[in-house]
Amino acid sequence: AAGVIQSPRHLIKEKRETATLKCYPIPRHDTVYWYQQGPGQDPQFLISFYEKMQSDKGSIPDRFSAQQFSDYHSELNMSSLELGDSALYFCASSFSLGTRAYEQYFGPGTRLTVT
């Protein structure tokens, strides 16, 4: 079965540079979530999109922005990178039907290293 695809899988950037992470949800999934996971930490919710509209916002820095496109893929744009932004970034997707909450499936993650 198709899974969530994330690219790139690894990314090395210098401080103050910009990075763009991409997420391709499971086909027919209409909701995308972004999480940041530091070493030894639980995944922290950043932002989510439902039907191309921002649906919720968590601890996402103002330096970060994201959007969901017409084909449901999503991009997380990170500017003025800081050393503390080094982490695993996961995208997850789910399907909605009315108000029923369905399972979130995670992508393999993008490991971002800021030097």
Between 69 and 102, name the residue whose CB sits nearer to another protein: 102
- Distance, in Å, from the CA atom of 47 to the CA atom of 58, rounded to the nearest integer, reads 6
Per CB under 8 A, 36 contacts another protein? no
Q: Which range of residues in 10-18, 60-68, 76-84, 103-111 is near another protein by CB under 8 A?
A: 103-111
Q: CA gyration radius for the chain?
A: 14
Per CB under 8 A, 109 contacts another protein? yes
Per CB under 8 A, 96 contacts another protein? yes
Q: Which of residues 49-88 bind another protein (CB under 8 A)?
A: 50, 55-56, 58, 88
Which SS3 state, helix, strand or coil, does residue 101 take?
coil
Closest CA to 18 of 75, 92, 91, 90: 75
